[in-house]
Amino acid sequence: MVPLLLVLLLILILAGAGFALKILWWVAIAVLVLWLIGFVARPKGSSGRWYRW
């Protein structure tokens, strides 16, 4: 019974990590798209940087 519970717990942990990693991939893609839009749509005549870092 204990090995079965350990296997089920391992499956739940891996499924949760996979779901979290999938969300992180979507967040990274969204940030990349926003960065590319900002890079393309930056104002002309400035120092070349559209961000204020």
Ramachandran category for residue 45: left, alpha or beta (phi over 0 → left; psi -120 to 50 → alpha): left
Per-residue pLDDT 10s for the chain (53 aa) are 788 888 888 888 878 887 888 888 888 889 888 888 877 776 665 555 555 55
| Token couple for 29 | 């893609």
Q: Which amino acid is at 36?
A: L
pTM for the predicted model, two decimal places:
0.54
